[in-house]
Structure 1
Amino acid sequence: MSFKVAVVTGANKGIGFAIVRGLCKRFDGTVYLTSRDEKRGKDAVAALENEGLHPKYHQLDITNPQSLKVFHDYIKEKYDHIDILVNNAAIAFKSKATEPVAVQAEETLRVNYFSVLSTCEILFPLLRNGARVVNVSSSAGHLSNIPSKQLRQKFQDPNLTIPELSELMHQYIAAAKQGTQSKEWGNSSYAVSKVGLTALTKIHQRMLNDRDIKVNAVHPGYVDTDMSSHMGPLSIDEGAQAPLFLALDAPDSVKGEYIWFDKRIVSWTEKNQ
């Protein structure tokens, strides 16, 4: 079957919702809007249908391996492949959050790093040769947000493996539990989670190079969403532009990169953005 299939995680609102909207308008294939909460997801699909667009819906909680397996089996049976995977689902604690740093560290990395990793492990076998993976990172995912030079060197090691990267993530959680994280890791669990995601992007690109699969990370800009407490100046459709560029328009030479909301490839390791 030659149907093309695109999947967007965490897509019932915000940037994910706008990415689905953009794909529905331009992608020559079936677009799946997925969300943890089924009612919110179906309401989002209904809203897009009111615009004359026709996404499909499937429940998907990236933090639940069983939910991922159910979705994998559904796509495998119905289409046998995925052409575009947008890893958008993520969380962020607000600046005024009262949860202890240790709790914020564990939960943020559980969702933004470890759950995205398991999403990739379960869904990557469905990627067709030539597929595109877009990881929605952040300006917080820039390596310069990690104060320790030694840690930065580990993250940018061209031979870094996934087990080694996951061990770094565990080390951060352990440091947060001991209250010793700020000197080496900084004070943002969100930043650490997105640095981890961007590093994962580069490892996955190395692993998938021989199948012409493009894996890129993107900072979508500071967008007016629940996650930004509606402080961002960009609309969700503006925030979707760079992810859509990577999903649909970027040259095949753009792979394993970290791109900015204005579609520029930026150095992940050098600070002068």
Structure 2
Amino acid sequence: MSRIAVVTGSNKGIGFATVRALCKQIDNGVVYLTARDEGRGQAAVEELKKENLNPRFHQLDVNDQKSIDRLRDHLVKEHGGLDVLVNNAGIAFKHADQTPVSAQAPVTMATNFDGLLAVCHTLFPIIRSHGRVCQIGSECGPTTYVKISDELKSRFKNAATEQDVIQLMQEFLNSAKDGSLKEKGWAERSYGTSKLGVIALARIQAIDIQADNSREDILINCCCPGYTATDMSSYKGPLTIDEGAVTPVYLATLPSGAKEPQGKFIEKKKVTDFW
């Protein structure tokens, strides 16, 4: 059976390079390049076709549940399910941006955490046995973790359900809104906090998927691609987008029957445990 892969937010940057690599590595499969903007997504597909690659495009806005539902319905109708999901879509305010954290927090969280979670809730049920999921995290998650209070550290480390993580994200948003972040033990880091939530979420999702007896051999992990030269980093990162795609592609193509990594945070293809 052909393996079907989806990479969210993949018309540029690490997502684009991930699609390129998966097109080369998934034999006789189908790789979907997705983007919120159809024109940009189609242009990215055409660019890869010039390299004799053949990704397919499907519109996807992770902030729009109807858009996510349309992708799911298409995958079920055309392929009967999904095998590889790389949740890459994300946003970050520039360091020099003067927008207050009270305004940055809800916008950042809506895409990086809520949008990712919505994609997971919608697409996880159609992932087949031997499926692979890679949640794109960031080194900003661990560096944010060291700056929060011991109480919050403990809550992140011991979070056992999705709802535990959702509650933490909501408390961060509430504190950002009312100006009590420092008082409540948070760091004023919207992007880092959103990615910390994603890292914790992947650990829980991996445990939950193993309890699903209807499917087998599904691995869910989170990774840090590394500091990559993309528009998100103002092209300051030392890695090319293809270098940034190495670890996501590694997790997306773990061989059938692999037991590890599972629920881990991966940097440079190696497990990092910062909890």
Give TM-score scaled by structure 1 length: 0.94
SS at match of 1:218: strand
How far apart in 2 are the matches of 1:99 and 1:164?
A: 28
Partner residue, 2:35: 35
253, 259, 262: which one aligns with 2:266 = 259
Aligned-residue CA RMSD (Å): 1.2
Aligned-residue offset at 1:114: 0.8
SS at match of 2:197: helix
Partner residue, 1:153: 154
Letter in 1 for 2:24: K
Partner residue, 1:198: 199
Aligned-residue offset at 1:140: 0.8
Partner residue, 2:16: 17
Runs of 4+ in 1 over 2 A off after TM superposition: 143-146, 249-252
The count of aligned residue pairs is 266
Q: Which moved more, 1:183-192 or 1:32-41?
A: 183-192
How far apart in 1 are the matches of 2:201 and 2:97?
A: 27
What are the residue-to-residue correspondences of 1:52-131 with 2, within 5 Å?
52-131=52-131
CA offsets per residue over residues 12-70 of structure 1, 9 Å max, x none? Answer: 00000000000001112100000001000000000000011000000000110000001
220, 224, 230: which one aligns with 2:225 = 220
Q: Which moved more, 1:140-149 or 1:73-82?
A: 140-149
Partner residue, 2:247: 242
CA contact (8 A) 1:146 1:152 kept: no
How far apart in 2 are the matches of 1:60 and 1:90?
A: 13
SS at match of 1:185: coil
Aligned-residue offset at 1:3: 2.3
SS at match of 1:156: helix
CA offsets per residue over residues 68-118 of structure 1, 9 Å max, x none? Answer: 001111101111111100000000011121222111011111110011001
CA offsets per residue over residues 197-233 of structure 1, 9 Å max, x none? Answer: 0011011001101432100000000000000010000
SS at match of 2:182: helix
How far apart in 1 are the matches of 2:225 and 2:234?
A: 16
How far apart in 1 are the matches of 2:129 and 2:96?
A: 44
Q: Which moved more, 1:38-47 or 1:208-217?
A: 208-217
